[in-house]
Amino acid sequence: MLELRPEQFAVLADSQLASFKAHLEAHLRATFPLQTADVDAAALRDFIDLAVTRSGDAGIDTEASVQSFADHMVLLGARFPDNPLYTVLTAPLRDPGLESPVQRMDRVYDLTWDYLDRIRAPDGGHLIEALARLRAWMNLAGEHVGDSVADVLPILQRIYPQKFGAHDTPALADFCEQALRRAGADRFMQAPARALYVCTAFIAGLDFYHDPLIRGGARRVAEALETEPDPGRRTRLLAKGVSRYLDRVLALVRGTPA
């Protein structure tokens, strides 16, 4: 089986790595048709490059295990191992008792699907309700919205109580702190935008703003945000991009076109 350790990339034949990435692209298109439907080839290749790099960083270095790692990036967010909410789910990545990368990813898979079934409900009902609550909050949130950890924690609880209840307070606070730091690094300065950033990260993944799959599905908004300096317009553009993302996720859960 072809191994993909980072230190071996330089000596791998280009055709081997290209062949694996082509296989992974076809796999992701077939397995996650709605998540990839609006994503062009360039964005999906960026996602795959990130998957290969990130899986290597985690010691996941065989074709089957890298493919599974990429699947979990779709399900949990592009940088799911860094998300403090998923420490339990990703514990097998750091388990010295599991020597095989395939074993580690199989265990991550079992934990992840048990978790997703609990927070989403088998029919996706909890997630659909969370999407509706987030959209309603976006429509009502005004200039007096706070953006401290103490401000955003109750918002997350109202929007997605099942997911909120699946985590302890320290993990939730750590998540909010990290999300707020990322919002600042991504130049969102107004409190409504920062609070929306955290709420979106709670559903879409901590690094959603840089996730090639999410950006690829809202490319025009993402490109506009790259060059827009005005804080107010950046807030409105973020809301537009998030609204588009919610449409895509709702279509996924319902199994209908966006």
Spatial contact of 51 and 70, defined as CB atoms under 8 Å apart: yes
201 inside domain? yes
Q: Please tell me whether residues 116 and 145 are part of one structural domain.
A: no
pLDDT digit string, tens, across residues 83-108: 999 999 999 999 989 989 999 999 99
Residue 37 structural domain: 6-120
Q: Please tell me whether residues 87 and 139 are part of one structural domain.
A: no
Q: Please tell me whether residues 114 and 129 are part of one structural domain.
A: no
Q: Which of 79, 97, 120 is the last residue of a domain?
A: 120
Q: Please tell me whether residues 185 and 96 are part of one structural domain.
A: no
Q: By C-alpha distance, which of 253, 231, 216 is closest to 241?
A: 216
pLDDT digit string, tens, across residues 67-85: 999 999 999 999 999 999 9
Numbers of helices and strands, H then E, in the chain: 13, 0
Spatial contact of 64 and 21, defined as CB atoms under 8 Å apart: no
Residue 2: CB atoms within 10 Å: 14
Q: Please tell me whether residues 73 and 100 are part of one structural domain.
A: yes
Q: Which of 120, 135, 150 is the last residue of a domain?
A: 120
Place of tokens 């996706």: 124
73 inside domain? yes
Q: Please tell me whether residues 175 and 106 are part of one structural domain.
A: no
59: left (phi over 0), alpha (psi -120 to 50) or beta: left
Alpha carbon distance 148, 195 (integer Å): 8
Alpha carbon distance 186, 197 (integer Å): 10
1 inside domain? no
Q: Please tell me whether residues 72 and 22 are part of one structural domain.
A: yes
How many domains does the chain contain in total?
2
- SS3 label, residue 3: strand
246 inside domain? yes
Q: Please tell me whether residues 111 and 129 are part of one structural domain.
A: no
DSSP 29-77: HHH-HHHHTT--HHHHHHHHHHHHHHHHHTT--BHHHHHHHHHHHHHH-
Q: By C-alpha distance, which of 27, 28, 9, 25 is closest to 17?
A: 9
Low-confidence ranges of the chain (pLDDT < 50): 1, 9-12, 258
pLDDT at 11: 45
Alpha carbon distance 232, 230 (integer Å): 6
Copy the structure tokens of residue 18.
Answer: 């290209």
- Residues belonging to the chain: 258
Q: Please tell me whether residues 107 and 137 are part of one structural domain.
A: no
Q: To 10 degrees, what angle do helices 14-31 and 41-57 make?
A: 110
pLDDT at 145: 82
pLDDT at 251: 81
pLDDT at 135: 93
Q: Please tell me whether residues 249 and 167 are part of one structural domain.
A: yes
Q: Please tell me whether residues 129 and 114 are part of one structural domain.
A: no
pLDDT at 113: 95
Q: Please tell me whether residues 129 and 244 are part of one structural domain.
A: yes
185 inside domain? yes
Place of tokens 């388990």: 95
